[in-house]
Structure 1
Amino acid sequence: MNSVNTIFCGDILDFVDDPAIQGENAHRFFAQGALVVENGKVAKLGYEQDIFSDLRKNNQLADYQVVRYDDQLIMPGMIDTHIHLPQIEMIGAYGEQLLTWLTEYAFPTEKKFANEEYAKAISNIFLDELLKNGTTTALVFCTVHPESVNAFFTEAQKRNLRMIAGKVMMDRNCPEDLSDCVSSSYQESKVLIEKWHNVDRLQYAVTPRFAPTSSDEQLAQCKTLLDEYPDVYLHTHLSENHNECEWVKTLFPNSTDYLGVYEDAGLVRKRSVFAHGIHLSEREMTCLADNQAAISHCPTSNLFLGSGLFNLKSCEQHKVKVGMGTDVGAGTSFSLLQTASEAYKIQQLKHEKFSAFKGLYLVTLGGARALDLEGTIGNFDLGCEADFIVLDNQATPFLNFRLSHTRTLHERLFTLMMLGDDRCIKETYIMGQSVHQRDLAYASNKVEEC
């Protein structure tokens, strides 16, 4: 790692709490601010003039490299709390809702990941897209094949990324060549945990696909893994589609409700992240909050598959932790800016407000809280890992024009959230080092096309 200590100058935004709780006090904004990074971590944050003055006073300014992003916006790297590695080649597949979409599109694609070289090639495309879109941490579904996990972690480790992933576990109601069994799913997951969990910046998630594809016995083995390795994650799906919810009732008639299936198995706990959670009862919301579990809200996927409208207000009222997920490939964009834009539209349909502050909180600190990583990533508190992005206010002529007509910080941020995409991500930094430069990447692509 480059040991050069650096001061990054520009407008700086991060969050210290949920805007639904602290309102205007939930965010910090430094016009002409400075972010000081030492050994890959945040050392100081404040206004440029104050930080430079202090360093000069102590004769330390010469010890730092200065990188300027005048009139640009520096933010923490975005956090995707639910995304599928193997589905990127069929993103935007036409015409189906969840259960048929799985059998027609997702399962056939996932079969290819038995080949580790193929999995590595897709992992590199996947990671390139994340960084291009300003996503620096993700909670990732691999496939049932251990090769998919090994490939993904190998490529993420090379890039020094903070990534969480796991081998899918499913022993019924799936194609035979994508099925494992109770004993193999446990043993293969255990080997992967021992190999990868907490190695560098990598962490493991026990990953039963969703309740319908796991037997009671397999869910029990998931609990065994969580008990044996208390700091790993549980990552699965919950209450996404009405037909799915009815199917769960028939498969688990003795459980109170959908979340009750996981609760009965001992899987609802801190570091459990449930994707979607659209059709939840009051009891389920209370259970999630009481057990410090989290929901990943996946708006582009929910709209694309016609699954339903997420009840964010109920989550706020019950104090359920919520992060944002792209859910690629049912989700239609790697961009968490575009994902937040769709979240706004969902809340409009529910006649609820969704501010830019709320959207940007969910893709940064909200995601860190959902992943139990507050204090490590998600904002610029001292000691946090310096994963951050630079947003370009002049990414396109029209965006520049539109932003020139904004009057307040919220108007500016809302415009970026609604109109922004990967073109707005000027640069992405991992542990204080640049890993994606938009202009260089675009120039390289043009050369390759020629």
Structure 2
Amino acid sequence: MKAYRASILRFAPDHSAIFEEDGLLVVGPDASGTRRVQAVGPYRTLGPKYPGLPVEHLPGRILAPGFVDMHIHYPQTDIIGSPADGLLPWLENYTFPAEKQFSAPAHAEEVARFFVAELLRNGVTTALAFATSHPASVNALFAEAQKNHMRLITGKVLQDRNSPDGVRDDTEQSLLDTEALIQRWHGVDRLGYAITPRFAPTSTPAQLRGAGALAAQYPEVWVQSHVAENLGEIAWAKELFPDARSYLGVYADFGLLRPRAVYAHCIHFDDADRALMRDTGTVAAISPTSNLFLGSGFFDYEGADRIGFGYGLASDVGGGTSFSPFHTMRAAYYVGREGQTKPGLSLSPQNLWWQHTAGAAKALGLDGVVGNLAVGCEADFLVLNPQATPLLARKAARAQSLDELLFGLIILADDRAVERTVISQAK
């Protein structure tokens, strides 16, 4: 066991932040060897209960839960910042050419090493990621995450039509590969599998039907895809699936909406779509930097909260423009201010931070496992330095409340504020 003394940020069940100016975080192994939070609270009351326990004192630092990224594409690491007129041209000109290269295991392994290191450097300790249609890409990312003891969920992309040679897969073989990868990787150490249709227009009904059958056969795995991101994409889905009530309804028709199903974007929804998300336990991965970059639109927070379905934040690299959760929270604030049916929504700093930690973990079905520093959670946490840059230090020194401190970090911080990322390790 070991203890850390510093300021501590964590979250209550009502999503509000709890902040200990001078706190103690005690971590230690459970029966399996996984390091978990054993105790957390004010130093003045907890310290005397652990005489002789090694304590690392970190004055001026904040211990915070590791960030949870609900949607990111590891094969798109090298195409961040590529110019395009919108989603579909961006896929054609940059995404598919880049993803073709992942049939080569050596390339997949090299990118996976950089990708995992970049996540951890930015304070992301749990991620739900897309690989490519090549099993080699999945194996490479799982192996790298396992090496780094990271909690990571990924899966082979399914896309058997409307895709170029090199990324298009075979319907039957894609499903066989998916099941084999589930059996090889799901539940190993801190790894999880996600059944991964790229998006409805690039899968035949037969492939989506097979994906739904696997989702029913393996209810403990995740499902991930994209929906209602772009108006052109929605029109395309309507043309290909004319009998579906909506784009989201396509996935419902094939049994792909359920708990642990995560759909990126969810921008152009009506209330019937929102109710379908709520009633099936499906959640949204909000990707504000990507949506702003590609001009796709704005996630409607007011509509989601009014109807009541779950969501959390995501970087969506490489359409997203940064691995940094601070960039993502900042963009979500802009979206909240400008993109609502009722303009002027102001997302609070505590809510933004919750969306990228405990809230995202809850949306993934990992509530009480990651994303928080509550007793029993896996001990993934960050050592944040609010003096990392001169301007951030000046702002933090003048903060008169927790909201001012957190908002200053959201607006001004980046990877430089993440002084250390601590990962829960099993023996």
Indicate yes or no: 2:24 matched with 1:28: no
Indicate yes or no: 2:65 matched with 1:76: yes
Contact 1:209/1:237 (8 A) holds in 2: yes
- CA 1:18–1:238 in 2, change beyond 3 Å: closer, same or farther? farther
Equivalent position SS for 1:200: coil
Contact 1:237/1:276 (8 A) holds in 2: yes
Output one character per residue of 1:405-447: Cα deviation in whole Å (capped at 9) or x when no partner.
22111001000011111001011000179xxxxxxxxxxxxxx
Indicate yes or no: 2:44 matched with 1:54: no
- CA 1:284–1:266 in 2, change beyond 3 Å: closer, same or farther? same
Equivalent position SS for 1:177: coil
Inter-partner Cα distance in structure 1 for 2:235 and 2:216: 30
Tell me which residue corresponds to 2:39: 44
Equivalence map 1:25-424=2 (5 Å): 26-39=16-29, 40-55=35-50, 61-62=51-52, 64-350=53-339, 351-424=344-417
Q: CA deviation at 1:95?
A: 2.8
Name the aligned partner's letter for residue 17 of structure 2: H
Equivalent position SS for 1:176: coil
Tell me which residue corresponds to 1:17: 13
Name the aligned partner's letter for residue 34 of structure 1: L
Contact 1:18/1:361 (8 A) holds in 2: no
Name the aligned partner's letter for residue 209 of structure 2: A
Identity over aligned pairs, percent = 41
Inter-partner Cα distance in structure 2 for 1:68 and 1:218: 54
Tell me which residue corresponds to 1:439: none
Inter-partner Cα distance in structure 2 for 1:239 and 1:369: 22
Q: TM-score, normalised by structure 1?
A: 0.91
Inter-partner Cα distance in structure 1 for 2:408 and 2:382: 17
Inter-partner Cα distance in structure 1 for 2:389 and 2:40: 29
Q: CA deviation at 1:74?
A: 0.8
Contact 1:18/1:366 (8 A) holds in 2: no
Equivalent position SS for 2:137: helix
Q: CA deviation at 1:346?
A: 1.0
Farther off after superposition, 341-350 or 74-83: 341-350
Contact 1:17/1:365 (8 A) holds in 2: no
Contact 2:215/2:255 (8 A) holds in 1: no
Output one character per residue of 1:3-35: Cα deviation in whole Å (capped at 9) or x when no partner.
xx111111111112354xxxxxx2211110111
Name the aligned partner's letter for residue 17 of structure 1: P
Inter-partner Cα distance in structure 1 for 2:227 and 2:25: 39
Tell me which residue corresponds to 1:437: none
Indicate yes or no: 2:414 matched with 1:425: no
Equivalent position SS for 1:286: helix
Structure 2 unaligned blocks of 5 or more: 30-34
Name the aligned partner's letter for residue 46 of structure 1: G
Name the aligned partner's letter for residue 94 of structure 1: P
Q: CA deviation at 1:370?
A: 1.2
Contact 2:213/2:255 (8 A) holds in 1: no
Contact 1:206/1:232 (8 A) holds in 2: yes
Q: CA deviation at 1:249?
A: 0.7
Inter-partner Cα distance in structure 1 for 2:276 and 2:26: 41
Equivalent position SS for 1:328: coil
Q: TM-score, normalised by structure 2?
A: 0.96
Inter-partner Cα distance in structure 2 for 1:122 and 1:18: 39
Point out 4+ residue stretches in structure 1 off by more than 4 angstroms: none
Equivalent position SS for 2:334: helix
Equivalent position SS for 1:275: strand
Output one character per residue of 1:63-89: Cα deviation in whole Å (capped at 9) or x when no partner.
x22112212111110000000010011
Inter-partner Cα distance in structure 2 for 1:359 and 1:81: 14
Inter-partner Cα distance in structure 1 for 2:24 and 2:425: 13
Output one character per residue of 1:370-395: Cα deviation in whole Å (capped at 9) or x when no partner.
11000111112221100000110110
Inter-partner Cα distance in structure 2 for 1:338 and 1:184: 39
Inter-partner Cα distance in structure 2 for 1:281 and 1:184: 36
- CA 1:310–1:18 in 2, change beyond 3 Å: closer, same or farther? farther
- CA 1:158–1:136 in 2, change beyond 3 Å: closer, same or farther? same
Inter-partner Cα distance in structure 2 for 1:354 and 1:223: 35
Farther off after superposition, 332-341 or 379-388: 379-388
Inter-partner Cα distance in structure 2 for 1:354 and 1:419: 17
Q: CA deviation at 1:96?
A: 2.2
Count, aligned residues: 417
Inter-partner Cα distance in structure 1 for 2:4 and 2:384: 13
Output one character per residue of 1:195-236: Cα deviation in whole Å (capped at 9) or x when no partner.
100000000000000000011111111111112211000000
Inter-partner Cα distance in structure 1 for 2:113 and 2:225: 24
Name the aligned partner's letter for residue 6 of structure 1: K
RMSD: 1.1
Contact 1:132/1:422 (8 A) holds in 2: yes
Inter-partner Cα distance in structure 2 for 1:381 and 1:229: 29
- CA 1:408–1:257 in 2, change beyond 3 Å: closer, same or farther? same
